[in-house]
A and B are shown apart, each in its own frame.
Chain A
Amino acid sequence: AQTVTQSQPEMSVQEAETVTLSCTYDTSENNYYLFWYKQPPSRQMILVIRQEAYKQQNATENRFSVNFQKAAKSFSLKISDSQLGDTAMYFCAFSGGGADGLTFGKGTHLIIQP
């Protein structure tokens, strides 16, 4: 079974700063997918970014980028030029692909201060 660990329960940064959220995982699979989801106070689950394990290039979506280290089983999320609207719970998630359910980490509560 896979496990996903987020070691930072809560983080707080000033608006416009850059912040990095950490995520490590454990799996014996070679092909898999990793995701970051954002859950604002509305509790909607919003996809932030995805990474296929077979791709060496780190995924990037506007201000969001990941640092994927497959050998270290690490998948951190960097948010540049943070905005007040980035305040949310961020979940790291693992999928073995196909119709496999996602395994989530416990989440990191990110607070962007004005």
Chain B
Amino acid sequence: AAGVIQSPRHLIKEKRETATLKCYPIPRHDTVYWYQQGPGQDPQFLISFYEKMQSDKGSIPDRFSAQQFSDYHSELNMSSLELGDSALYFCASSLMQGEETQYFGPGTRLLVL
């Protein structure tokens, strides 16, 4: 079965640079979620989108923005990167009128130097 696709899988950036992470949900899924997981920590919810509209917002820094496009893929844009942004970023997808279960992608490992 098709899974959530995230790209890139690994990313190295310098402080103050910008990064863009991409997420392609499971086919037919209409809701996308972004999470940040620091080393040794549990995942923290950042933001979600349903039918291209922002739906729920968590602890997303103002330096980050995200959107969902007409083909349901999503992008997380991160600006003015800080050392503390180094983490594993997960995208998850679900079907709103389905089983209410979020399926996770493999994650993007971001390292800020």
Contact = CB atoms under 8 A, between A and B. Distances in A.
Interface residues on B, range: 20 to 34
A106 B100 contact: no
Given A43-B88, A45-B90, A101 B100 contact: no
B11 to A, nearest CB: 15
B83 interface: no
Contacts of A52: 100
Nearest to B33: A101
B96 A106 contact: no
B55 A99 contact: yes
Interface stretch (A12-20, A76-84, A90-98): A90-98
A46 to B, nearest CB: 8
A52 B58 CA distance: 23
A46 B33 CA distance: 15
B103 A98 contact: no
B49 interface: yes
Interface stretch (B19-27, B40-48, B74-82): B40-48
Contact of B55 (A43, A98, A107): A98
Interface in B29-45: 31, 33, 35, 37, 41-45
Interface residues on A, range: 20 to 34
B42 A106 contact: yes
B79 to A, nearest CB: 22
B101 interface: yes
Interface of B: 31, 33, 35, 37, 41-50, 55-56, 58, 88, 90, 92, 94, 96, 99-104, 106-107
Interface of A: 33, 35, 37, 43-47, 50, 52, 91, 95, 97-107
Given A99-B94, A101-B35, A101-B58, 20 more contacts: A33-B100, A35-B101, A35-B102, A43-B37, A43-B88, A44-B104, A45-B92, A47-B102, A47-B104, A50-B100, A91-B43, A98-B55, A99-B50, A99-B56, A100-B56, A102-B35, A102-B45, A102-B102, A106-B42, A107-B42
